[in-house]
Amino acid sequence: MSAALLELHEVVAGYGRLTVLNRLSLSVAAGERLAIIGRNGVGKTTALRAVMGLVALSAGRVVFDGQDLAGMPTHRRAALGLGLVPQTRDVFASLSVEENLLAGAKRRPRSALDEAYALFPRLAQRRRHSGAQLSGGEQQMLSVARALLGQPRLLLLDEPLEGLAPLVRQELLAAFARIAEASGVGVVIVEQQVHEALAYAGRALILDRGAVAHAAPATELRHDQATLERLVGMAVEA
C-alpha cells in the first residue's frame, strides 16, 4: 500500500458527555477504496465528521497529507482536498440541478459542469429541475457530483445507498468506481448495505464501540461469515 493520505491517531470524540470514538486509529492510502461498516451507533458517521472538523476531538490527531488538521475549519479542510457527501445529502431544494452544481464548482468555469453530466447523464436531463423535484437517487447523484466538482483527493461517503432501489444503488457504485479509476480520488464509504460496500471496496474496517474491531481485505471479509455475524449482526452471501 502507498503512503497514507489520511490518518486518524487515537481519536476520541463525541457529543457533549457522550463519547462515540474511543481511541480510533485508521489510515487511508491515496486512491484507496475503503469501506467502514458496523452496527448502528458504533461511530462510523462520527468518524467522517471528525475528519471534516464537524465534531470536536477530545484527544488524538487527524492528519491529511502530512498536515495536522487540529483547529482547522471545515472549509479549509475541503480546500486541502477532503470532500464529504453527508447522509442528509444537503441538496438545495429550491435551486435547480445546474445551480446546485455551480455552488459546488465554486471558482471553476461553468464548463466544469460537463464532468458532472458525463458521470451522471440523468442530471443533464434534469438540469433545469429543482432539487425538490428529484428522486432520492437523483438527489444522491447530485450531492456526489457537487462534491466532486470541488476536486477532492479523498471523498467521504456517508450512507450513500440508504433508501435507494437496488438498480440505483448499482448505478451509484458503478459511478464511484469510474470516479476512482478516472481521477485517482480515494473513497471512504460508510454503509449499511454491507454486501455492496464490500463488493466495491478494496479494504474494509469494522467499527465497534468507537474503535476498529477488525480490518481485512474486503473480498476476504465477504466470506468471513463468523466475523460479520459477530460484529455486524448479519451474514453476507458471497
CATH code of residue 99: 3.40.50.300
Mean pLDDT, rounded, for 73-99: 92
- Lowest-pLDDT choice from 4-8, 45-49, 53-57, 232-236: 232-236
Encode pLDDT of 174-215 as tens digits: 888 888 887 889 999 999 999 999 999 999 999 999 999 999
Mean pLDDT, rounded, for 28-54: 96
Q: CA 124 to CA 79: how far, in whole Å?
A: 26
Residue 237 domain-assigned?
no
Residue 215 domain-assigned?
yes
Residue 236 domain-assigned?
no
- 226 CB-near residues (< 8 Å, 6+ apart): none
pLDDT reported for residue 157: 95
Which residue, among 212, 164, 167, 214, has the nearest Cα to 192 in the 3D structure?
164
% residues pLDDT > 70 (the chain): 97
pLDDT reported for residue 238: 45
pLDDT at 235 over 80: no
pLDDT reported for residue 45: 96
pLDDT at 1 over 80: no
% residues pLDDT > 90 (the chain): 76
pLDDT reported for residue 221: 96
Residue 78 domain-assigned?
yes
Q: CA 125 to CA 174: how far, in whole Å?
A: 19
Encode pLDDT of 111-151 as tens digits: 889 989 999 999 999 999 999 999 999 999 999 999 988 88
Residue 194 domain-assigned?
yes
pLDDT at 6 over 50: yes
Q: CA 117 to CA 142: how far, in whole Å?
A: 10
CB burial of 210-229 (b: ≥16 within 10 Å; e: otherwise) equals bbbbbebebeebbebeebbe
What is the pLDDT of the chain when averaged over all its residues?
Answer: 92
Report CA Rg, the chain.
Answer: 17
Select the more confidently predicted residue: 235 or 116: 116
pLDDT at 58 over 80: yes
Select the more confidently predicted residue: 3 or 114: 114
Residue 149 domain-assigned?
yes
- Note the pTM of the prediction, 2 decimals: 0.91
Residue 170 domain-assigned?
yes
Count of domains for the chain? 1
Residue 106 domain boundaries: 4-231
Q: Is the dihedral of CA 182, 187, 193, 194 positive or negative?
A: positive
pLDDT reported for residue 205: 98
Residue 234: CB atoms within 10 Å: 13
Encode pLDDT of 59-72 as tens digits: 999 999 999 999 99
Q: CA 189 to CA 161: how far, in whole Å?
A: 10
pLDDT reported for residue 218: 97
Residue 102 domain-assigned?
yes
